Amino acid sequence: MNSAECLAPGRFIDSAVPEVVRFAQDAAGKTGGDIDRALRLFGAVRDGIRYDPYVDMSDPANFRASGVLAAGHGFCIGKAALLAACARAIGIPARVGYADVRNHLTSRRMYDHIQSDVFVWHSYTDLNLESGWVKATPAFDLALCERVGLKPLDFDGRTDSLFHPFDRAGRRHMEYLKDRGTFGDVPFDTIQSDLRAAYPRLMSSHGLAGDFHAEALAPDVEPQETGDNG
């Protein structure tokens, strides 16, 4: 994967769409170096785009940067694609990466549909900044973290930001089970195949109705023991 590919618009990292360019330029601002501007982009995507896994995960729009921006919400794959697109729009090389993880933020109804605490193809953004390639994970927004009592995952532009602390004392972290590598664009067809195999009930539902923010549980809460909010 060369630098040109990490700056060019893609099918899902559609960094040339005018709305994406405008959002990126407004969020990044004109002052400071690449790290300063990348940190502003990270905050804008992390907190300005609400984390919502109740989307239709068979719909390509929910994996595409411009689709997530237009909706104002999305899950980890779409939010990582949006951050990558924003970075490319202001001249910062970016790609997307994936890993399978355990102990992901969830809800009772989400757990009922997936019957697992393993989430495949959890996504982050890989940015080429002053110290080289660094990973940033803009998935869980500040409002959601505050509601369930989690410490938000920060990013300093110099070190990888991957392991989300599960409590404000930092005593528990997400476990990464399998590194799936980095890509110049979202590998939509492969992800779709694996999601259908891992979560057939969830994929057949075409998205869950409801407000994930209102139903979300901290990762150390057993979903089976909570009341049904749906």
71 inside domain: yes
2 inside domain: no
Q: Which CATH number covers residue 170? A: 3.10.620
pLDDT-based confidence at residue 2 (cuts at 50, 70, 90): confident
68 inside domain: yes
Question: pTM here?
Answer: 0.91
pLDDT-based confidence at residue 230 (cuts at 50, 70, 90): very low
- Looking at residue 220, what is its pLDDT? 59
9 inside domain: no
Q: Where are the beta strands (DSSP E) in the chain?
A: 50-51, 73-74, 94-102, 106-107, 118-129, 132-136, 175-183, 216-217
Q: Express each pLDDT in 153-209 by its tens digit.
A: 889 999 999 866 555 555 555 778 899 999 999 999 999 999 999 999 999 999 998
What are the percentages of helix, strand and coil residues in the chain, rounded to 5? 40, 20, 40
Q: Express each pLDDT in 35-69 by its tens digit.
A: 999 999 999 999 999 999 999 999 999 999 999 99
The more confident residue out of 105 and 226 is 105
The total number of structural domains in the chain stands at 1
